[in-house]
Amino acid sequence: MKVLNKCNFCKSPLNHLVVDLGMQPLCEDRIKPESLNQMEPHFPLKAFVCNKCFLVQVPESASPQVIYRDYGYYSSFSDTWLEHARKYVHLAIKRFSIDKNNLVAEIASNDGYLLQYFAEKGIPVLGIDPAEAVAQYAIKEKGIRTEILFFGVETAKYLVKTYGQADLIIGNNILAHVPDINDFVQGMKLFLKPGGVITMEFPHLQRLIEGNQFDTIYHEHFSYLSFSTVSEIFQEHGLDLFDVEELPTHGGSIRIYAHHAEDTSKSVQQAVPDLLKREESLGMRDLTYYESFNEKVKETKRKILEFLIQAKRDGKHIAGYGAPGKGNTLLNYCGIRTDFLDYTVDRSPFKQGNYLPGTHIPVFPPDILKKTKPDYVFILPWNLKDEIISHHQYIRDWGGKFVVPIPELTIID
């Protein structure tokens, strides 16, 4: 097989395909009404696994500058995610004795969804995020001090010079988003105060593979991470992992805890060797673990289309719920447009009135569901299905049903 690229971490040749999701638009793009007839760029979306360090990755097709030029994701429009952030802040303050004398920094701070809970307690915070509109929202609407920058070594040097080193560095669902993972982790090493702690959350590669979560693969997610590979990357840059937690968020994530390798004040928790051992026993450091995923994804596509085709032939009305990045990967891979979904709805006013990339499915406020009374509501952010179903029980009043596509298509009465 022809060598397509080099590993983002160890620079070994990348020639082992995990899944091919075809040509796709950038999943967080918002297509405005006046742009419907304009050409829309598409890029190849293929994930490979490195045969040396086993980092699963999507080679860079579109630059981060292009991906984040009109970034439309605002974290604060998910009650589940806000509660997750609030609980984390309580945990971090208690476990690491964070107070007004410490600096808490979040990389990819988005709209201030998490740092607001530290700020409420009088703790100094600093957000770092490259998305202009989202960062300005954090600054103006929530009063969160934010630097509008991509993070890496040069940004870390600037931040240290301007604000000093951070006692706690947070990164939720950002480690997967960086095209140069070495520059990013080395930047955290420079930005972290001696004795400080880094916590990062990201979807666990084990859950992606076993849960058939192919829709979490998209261009802004450059890396798909196992605990063992992340441990290797951090160690390469003088950072050690001393604890790990498994979380239910995003279909199954892990939260890692890191400190300077020379910091002897924190003991390694048993969860670290336990998870390393489990990943090894599952075969995640072996190429055969990844070989059947591509065919599994194809079969899922067939089942989704079979349901949609039969439902439409039966005269059923189908609406989507949500406009997340993962939903756009699924819709474009499966070729689902307004021939199957009449529209989708989303709580975020920043997405309403626009169209989904590639498929051009219109996005409306959720209230339209009560007016059109769809027979099925196709839940695109399936990781939030419990929250969505709970908030929209009224759909059952007219006999409507919910459809969850991942890991297997499921109809919920």
In tens digits, the chain (413 residues) has pLDDT values of 333 589 999 999 999 999 999 999 988 788 999 999 999 999 999 999 999 999 999 987 666 666 655 555 677 777 888 999 999 999 999 999 999 999 999 999 999 999 999 999 999 999 999 988 899 999 999 999 999 999 999 999 999 999 999 999 999 989 998 989 999 999 999 999 999 999 999 999 999 999 999 999 998 889 999 999 999 999 999 999 999 999 988 889 999 999 999 999 999 999 999 999 999 999 999 999 999 999 999 999 999 999 999 999 999 999 999 999 899 999 999 999 999 999 999 998 889 999 999 999 999 999 999 999 999 999 999 989 999 999 999 999 999 999 999 999 999 99
Q: How far apart are CA 138 and CA 112, in angstroms?
A: 5
Residue-range domains of the chain with CATH: 5-61 (no CATH), 75-290 (3.40.50.150), 293-412 (3.40.50.720)
Count CB-CB contacts under 10 A for residue 349: 10
Interhelix angle 227-236/271-282, nearest 10 degrees: 120
**Contact yes or no for 32/21 (Cβ under 8 A):** no
Beta carbons within 8 Å of 322's beta carbon, 6+ residues apart = 344, 345, 346, 379, 380, 381, 384, 388
What pLDDT does 69 receive? 58
Give me 365's structure tokens. 């406020």
Query: 303, 302, 300, 356: which is closest to 332 by C-alpha?
Result: 356
Q: Helices (DSSP H) in 97-152: which residue ranges?
A: 115-119, 132-142
- Model confidence, pTM: 0.89
Give me 3's structure tokens. 């060598």
Beta carbons within 8 Å of 250's beta carbon, 6+ residues apart = 173, 203, 216, 383
What pLDDT does 71 receive? 58
The helix/strand/coil state of 227 is helix
